[in-house]
Amino acid sequence: MSAPRQLSLNAFIYPSGHHEAAWRHPDSRPDRIYDVSYYQEIGRTAEAAKLDAVFFADGPALRTDVRHNAAPGLEPITLLTAIATATTHLGLIATASTTYYEPYNLARLFSSLDHLSGGRAGWNIVTTGTDLAAANFGLDRHPDHAARYARAREFVDAVVALWDSWEDDAILLDRAAGIYADPDKIHPIDFVGEHLRVRGPFNAARTPQGHPVLVQAGASNEGRAFAGKYAEAIFTAHQRLSDAQTFYADIKAKAAEYGRDGGAVKILPGISPFIADTEAAAKRLEREFNELTVPEYGIKQLESITGTSLRALALDEPVPVEVFAGAGDVTDNARSRLQVVAGIVERERPTLRGLLHRLAGARGHRVFAGTPEQVADTIEEWFTQGAADGFNVMPPYYPGGLEVFAETVVPILQERGLFRTEYTGTTLRDHFGLARPRGRFAPEPATVG
């Protein structure tokens, strides 16, 4: 009899918190966002709650309006290595761009993290969605969407080939004979594509997980196809259960089209919970954060999504639905986020101020204010109704928002049999329930019969 299905829960680290005004709130610690011990404490909190992983987003450009928000810009592999030294089981997922890395150096970064953490690394694959990055790498312009995904497909193929270039038993460690490794079990990959060429072999052995877990966050048409082929876990943003169910079914079907087991692809929407003893108190806490927002900051963020100036609107004027006329064409990830915002405007008809407050909490991810039981109820509903395999938990403020979730919501999920009470494995693949991939040079398994 198979074990009951279990939630996956990650803590998405955003230094002061996921609400854009978190750094102004007295319960956050913006003074510590360059302090390594701060992140190690967050990691220990997540591990004490038996969470699957922490996740750290990244981009190779200064995108945040630093006049109105805190933006530390720490390099994620370095940061997660520091968290690895303070934890023993917690998964460690970082974003890295296929547009602004080369396959060999990125493969080394994640291979090193996986080795040094004992098999806890995950790579969130992105193509980078901002033009601001191009000039930082000597380019005249950011590559277009189709070109970025064409390179990304080659990039992942090359990186996985590098990770697989050593067979699992290549290291002999024969001191008596003076033989460390068998060169016949270490292979060049000779990868030649339209965008990339990588000879190989890799310069390090295959990692404890075979290779780090492949994570993806693109919701565009191209992104979904990419996820169906490569992703082992997918981060996504949805406001409504029905939308999440549609996305969930689509990704599972796309994985099956590539001959993959859809059940082995984890769909993890974001949820940003304001938690208090009563629903009224939780909603007061959310209002408290919203009242700290700076409209100028929110308008800049919204304009980056819509591509349209909204400065002629008064804060208490309704947002015109026409601003989102092109939201149905989901050709790129920026437009998929535009769809989320368009849905809010069409359903709720908010004022500009109201829309800015709706988006301040988690940049289009679902914000929920309620008691621990209500937060657990909504997590359970999405998990059992075909909308999610777990969640990226996005506390509105750090470190207290994660602490409250860990101390009040996680025990309820554990009591309901939905989440582990102890780790049953040591790797991120163990936590996600993913098999260790067979190396491409491994012999075919023997058939029985």
287 closest CA partner among 343, 358, 350: 358
Of residues 150 and 339, more confidently modeled: 150
Determine the pLDDT at residue 330: 53
- Report DSSP state, residue 210: B
> What global pTM score does this model have?
0.93
| The pLDDT value given to residue 183 | 97
Q: With bands split at pLDDT 50, 70 and 90, how would you rate the model's confidence at 332? A: low
Provide the H-helix boundaries in 217-320.
221-230, 241-257, 279-290, 295-306
Instruction: Report the distance separating Cα 261 and Cα 265, nearest Å.
Output: 7
* CB of 42 closer than 8 Å to CB of 13: yes
pLDDT band, residue 95 (cuts 50/70/90): very high
Bridge partners of 270? 392
Evaluate if residue 221 carries a pLDDT over 90.
no
Q: What is the mean pLDDT of residues 26-31?
A: 95
d(Cα 42, Cα 15) in Å, to the nearest integer?
10
Is the pLDDT at 72 greater than 80? The verdict is no
pLDDT value of position 333: 52
What 3-state class would DSSP assign to 179? strand
Q: Taking 80 as the threshold, does the pLDDT of residue 418 lie above it?
A: yes
**Is residue 334 pLDDT above 70, yes or no?**
no
CA distance linking residue 290 with residue 354, whole number of Å: 10
Residue 43 is assigned to a structural domain of this protein: yes
Say whether 319 sits in a helix, a strand or coil: coil
The annotation places the binding site for FMN at: 58, 95, 145, 149, 220
Q: Is residue 188 part of a domain?
A: yes
pLDDT at 402: 98
Q: Please give the Cα distance from 236 to 247 (Å, whole number).
A: 9
HSE toward the beta carbon, residue 244, CA cutoff 13 A: 29
Q: Which residues are documented as binding site? A: 58, 95, 145, 149, 220
∠ CA 404-406-411, nearest 5°, is 115
Q: How confident is the model at residue 331 (pLDDT cuts 50, 70, 90)?
A: low
Which amino acid is present at 51?
L
Would you tell me how many other CB atoms lie within 10 Å of the CB of residue 235? Answer: 26
pLDDT of residue 235: 95
Decide if pLDDT at 110 tops 60.
Answer: yes
Cα angle 272, 274, 275; round to 5: 125
Specify the pLDDT at position 257. Answer: 94
Whether pLDDT at 291 is above 90: yes
User: What pLDDT is attached to residue 300?
Assistant: 87
Q: Total structural domains in the chain?
A: 1
Distance, CA of 330 to CA of 370 (rounded, Å): 32
- What's the CATH code of the domain at 158? 3.20.20.30
Whether residue 373 is contained in a domain is answered as yes
Q: Is residue 208 part of a domain?
A: yes
What would the mean pLDDT of 259-273 be, rounded to a whole number?
94
354-363 burial, b at 16+ Cβ within 10 Å, e below that, comes to bbbbbbbbbb
- Structural domain contains residue 422: yes
Q: For residue 201, is the peptide bond before it cis, meaning its omega torsion is within 30 degrees of 0?
A: yes
Q: What is the pLDDT of residues 177-190, one digit of tens each?
A: 999 999 999 999 99
Looking at the domain assignment, is residue 445 inside a domain?
Answer: no
Phi, psi angle pair for 262, to nearest 5°? -60, -30
Range of the domain at 161: 8-279+364-432
**What single letter denotes the amino acid at residue 143?**
P
Domain-embedded: residue 196: yes
Look at residue 164 and tell me if it is in a domain.
yes
> Per mean pLDDT, which of 67-71, 273-277, 319-323 is the most reliable?
273-277
